[in-house]
Structure 1
C-alpha cells in the first residue's frame, strides 16, 4: 500500500515536472518552480528508502518474535513433561544407588543381608537344619560282639544359626552356634574323639583379614573357632556333600587336630588354580582343659598343626581336575594332669549318625606323645559327573613318659580311604570353589514348582570307603581296632537352592578280633536306610 502511493506521487511529480519543463522552454520565470520540484522529488526518494528499510526491519522483528515464541513453547512443554515423569517416578521404589548414609537390604540365596551403600560393611543371618531319620538292620557275628544292637530313630544332626559378614571390605567375621546333635551329645561332638566335646555348641567364632593380595592371588589371615578347609571332603560344605555323612577315613583324620568346632590361627593363599594353607590348632570348643585337681577337669590343652596344598590345574567350561596333598600333626595330645595319662583315640560310627555307637575303634592308645596324618586327594568333573577320592596314612607315637605302660612302644600305623562318584540326572554340574579348593553344591536350573513346572535337580551317587585300625596284631602292644568297609548308594533331590532331600542306603562290614592276641571274632554286618531333610541359607 505504501509503495503504491509513493509510485503514484512520483508519477504525478514526474508529469508535473515534464509540464513545468515544457513551460520553462517558453518562460524562464518557471526555473525556480522546477528547482523546487526537484528538491521535493529528492526528499520523496529519501522517504521511500527510509520506508523500505523500516519495512525490512519490521519483517525481521516479526520473524524473530515468532521464533522466540516457538522456543519458549517447546521449553515449557519439556518442563511439563519432566514434571509428569518426576511425579510418576515418585511412586516407583528407588532402584539406583542409595544415599551414602543409607543401607541396602538384599536376599542372596534367601539369606537376609544388610550392607552399607558402598558395600564395605555387611552382616548376614545364616542357618542350616539337617534332620535325619532311619533305621539299621544290624547283625553281630557272635554274642561277644559289642554292641549287640544299634538303635534306629531320628537325629537333629545340625541346627545352626548365626551371623557372618565383613567390616571395611577386608575384615570378615562369623559367629555361628549349633543346637544340633540330639543323639550325638549337645554340640554334635562324636563319641570316641579326643577327650572333651559335647559341652559347647560354638561352631564358628572367628575373624579374618583378606586385604593382602600377594603374588597375584588372595590371602586370608584367620583366628578363632572355625571349620578348617583340611582335606577335600572337609573343605566341602556339609550342605553340599553327596552323602549324609563323610567317609570314616576323613572323619577320623579331622578329629585328631582339625574338623568343626576347632580353635585355630593360620593363613591361606589362593588363586583360581592353586590353594596353599597352614594353621596351628588347639582344642575343640567342647574340650575341657583346666589345671584343677578335681574331676572332670585336670586336663591340659592340646595343640597341633595342619597344612594343605591343592588346586585345579586343568579346567574348562564343562570339566576340571583337582589334586592335592595334606598333612596334620598332633604336637601335644591332651594330658590328664590327675591320672598322669596321655591318650589318643581313633574311631568313627559307620557313616551314619542315628546311633552314636562306634563299631571300629582303637580305644584309648596309651602314652601317645603325638600323631601324624598324611593324605592325598583327587577329583574330576565332566559336565554332570564328579569323581572324588582320598587316602590317609595315620601314625601314632607312643613315647610319652606317663604312668601308663608301655613307654617307648613302637609307633602305630593305620590307613584308610574312599572313592566316590556322583551324576546329576538333570544335567547340572558342580562349580569349583577356589577359596576352599573344593567343589560347590548342585544348584537346580529349574527349581521345583507346581506353578512353573520345574522339578529341581536329581543326583545319584555311590561310594566305597574303608578304614583299617588294626596294627601289630599278635603282640601285646598291638591294636585291634577292626577293619570297617562300607558301600553307600544315594539319591539326592535338590528342590531349590535352599532345600534338599537325601536318601542313603548303606551296607557295611566290620572285621574285628577280640584283642591283639585273640583271634576270636567280634565283628558285625549291617544294612541301613536313612533320609535327611535339609534347608540352609
Structure 2
C-alpha cells in the first residue's frame, strides 16, 4: 500500500468518526477529538515509514544473500577445477632448475658438446675432412729425371674424428684419430711411415693443465701426442691456412723434431701480447722401435729425442690492424739409430706443396753419420682490415760427426735454407682474428653465411705465395748433397661457405733445379703446373 492511499483512508476514517461523535458529544469536545485523531494519524505514518524501511532492508539482505551464495558457488567451482588440474599435472614431470649433477648439451659452432651444469667438466666431438682432387702437368727436363710422371687423382688428405674437453675446469684433453691418406712426413724415408710420408693413426692423445696463471698471463703444462705450435704456419690450424698445403721449408723443418703425430712434453705461456713455449720431443706415432720380427726394409730404430722453442707476439695491434713477430729454434739431440746396422741418418724432403701424388721432387736422401741437427727461423705477419701478410725464413744445420764407423767419416756439417712469403685479401671484408693462445691467426668467419633462403654468399678470399727451398750444399765435393732447389708460385681462391664448410682452389707453378749428384752437373730437374680443389668441412 502506498503512502498516499494510506493517508486518504486514514482521513476518511477520521472524518467518519468525527461525524458520528458530533451527534453524541458537545461542541466543546470536538477540538480534543480532532487533536487525538491527528496524533493517531501521525503514529500510523511513523509505523508506515518503519515498515517501508524494514521492507527495503529485507530486500537488500535477500539480494546480498543471493550474491554471496552465487559467489560461494563460483569459488567452489574454481576450487574443484584447480583440484582437477592439480591431479592431472601430478602425473606430468615439472621442468625445474637443473641439478648440479645434471648435464647441459650445447652445439657451439655445430660441435656437439656435453657439460656439467657448473661447466667444470665438458666433452665434445670434433672432426675434420679435407678431400682433395687435382691434376698435374709435369715436365721432366731430361730422360734421366726422376720421376718421369706425376699422377693426377684424388686424396683424402685428412679424415679426423675424436673427442676434446676439460676436467675439473683446469685439465684439458684430446684423443683424435686420423684416417686420412697422407700427412706431412719424411717423404717416404721415415721408418714405419707409409709411402710419401703418409701416417694414419693417433694424431692427438694428450692432457694439458691450465690452472697456473703466473706473471699476469695463462700457462699450460702438457704432454702426450700433439701438434706442437712450432713456427707461425704450423701454429695455424690446417682448417685456417690460406693454401691447401703449407710451404715446403716449414714442412721440412718441423719434420726433424716437431710436427704432427709427435710425442712431446712441454709448456707454453701467453697473454694478449706475448707467447713463449718450449717442448721436449720424441718420435712420431708411426715410428718402429723394435728390430724383432720386422722386415729388413722396415727395421726398427732407437727412439729419437729433440727440443723446440718459440717466442712470438702481437707487438702492435689496433681495432683493424696488427703486427706479429717471432723467432723459433729446433734441436735434434739424438737422431734415430738403426738397431741392426748402427746407422744414424736423417732425410730432408718434401712433395711439391700438393699431396695428390706422394712423390717427392727435392730430397737429400739419407744423410749418414748424423749426430744432431738444428733449425733456426724468424716469422712475421701483419693484418690491416681484410688484408693479411705472412712470411718465415729457415736456416738448417746438420752435424755429421756421429761415431758409427760408417762412411763418410769426419764429413763437415751441412747447411740448407728456405722460406716463403704470402698475402691474402678477403673480398667480402672479413678479417683474420689473432689467437693469443697459439700466437697465430684464425680463419675467416663469414659475416653472411651462404644460403639460398634469404641468406648471403659467404666469404671470398684471394691469396698468393712464393716459396723456396734449397737442399743443395757443398756441391762439387764427394761429401756434398745435391737435394735440389724448388721454387713454387701459388694462387688461391677460397670460399668460406659458413663457419664449418670451405672450398679451396689452388693453382701452382713450380720449378726444380737439380743435378744428378754433388759431383755431376747433369740436369735432372723438372717443371710442373697443377690445379687442385679441396672440399673441407670441420667442427
Runs of 4+ residues deviating >6 angstroms: 90-94
Cα separation, 2, equivalents of 1:97 and 1:356: 56
Deviation at 1:163, TM superposition (A): 0.2
Q: CA RMSD in A?
A: 2.3
Alignment-derived partner of residue 253 in structure 1: 253
Is residue 348 of structure 1 aligned with residue 344 of structure 2?
Answer: no
Deviation at 1:99, TM superposition (A): 1.9
CA 1:123–1:372 in structure 2 vs 1: closer, same or farther (change >3 Å)? Answer: same
Cα separation, 2, equivalents of 1:148 and 1:200: 28
Is residue 131 of structure 1 aligned with residue 131 of structure 2?
Answer: yes
Is residue 197 of structure 1 aligned with residue 199 of structure 2?
Answer: no
Contact 1:188 1:201 in 2 (8 A): no
- Look at both structures and tell me which one has the larger radius of gyration over its CA atoms: 2
Cα separation, 2, equivalents of 1:447 and 1:411: 53
TM-score, with structure 2 as normaliser:
0.81
Contact 2:514 2:525 in 1 (8 A): yes
2:249 is paired with a residue whose SS is helix
The alignment covers a number of residue pairs equal to 452
Alignment-derived partner of residue 361 in structure 1: 363
2:389 is paired with a residue whose SS is strand
Counterpart of 1:485 (choices 484, 487, 490) is: 487
Q: 1:334-483 maps to which residues of 2 (within 5 A)? A: 334-483=336-485
Gaps of 5+ in 1: 1-68, 70-75
2:251 is paired with a residue whose SS is helix
Cα separation, 2, equivalents of 1:356 and 1:525: 16
Q: Could you give the per-residue CA deviations for residues 278-304 of structure 1, whole angstroms, max 9, x where no partner exists?
A: 000000000111253854334101100
Cα separation, 1, equivalents of 2:438 and 2:313: 9
Q: 1:145-184 maps to which residues of 2 (within 5 A)? A: 145-181=145-181, 184=182
1:335 is paired with a residue whose SS is coil
Deviation at 1:316, TM superposition (A): 1.0
Cα separation, 2, equivalents of 1:269 and 1:243: 29
Cα separation, 2, equivalents of 1:192 and 1:252: 13
- 446-455 or 498-507, which moves further after superposition? 446-455
Alignment-derived partner of residue 531 in structure 1: 533
Deviation at 1:437, TM superposition (A): 0.4
Is residue 263 of structure 1 aligned with residue 263 of structure 2?
Answer: yes
Contact 1:307 1:327 in 2 (8 A): yes
Gaps of 5+ in 2: 1-67, 69-74
Cα separation, 2, equivalents of 1:201 and 1:280: 21
Deviation at 1:196, TM superposition (A): 3.0
Counterpart of 1:308 (choices 288, 307, 310) is: 310
Contact 2:394 2:417 in 1 (8 A): yes
Contact 1:192 1:348 in 2 (8 A): no
Cα separation, 2, equivalents of 1:159 and 1:188: 14
Q: Could you give the per-residue CA deviations for residues 385-428 of structure 1, whole angstroms, max 9, x where no partner exists?
A: 00000000000000011142112210000000000000000000
Cα separation, 2, equivalents of 1:93 and 1:525: 72
1:409 is paired with a residue whose SS is coil
Cα separation, 1, equivalents of 2:341 and 2:276: 40
Contact 2:191 2:299 in 1 (8 A): no
Contact 2:151 2:356 in 1 (8 A): yes
TM-score, with structure 1 as normaliser:
0.81
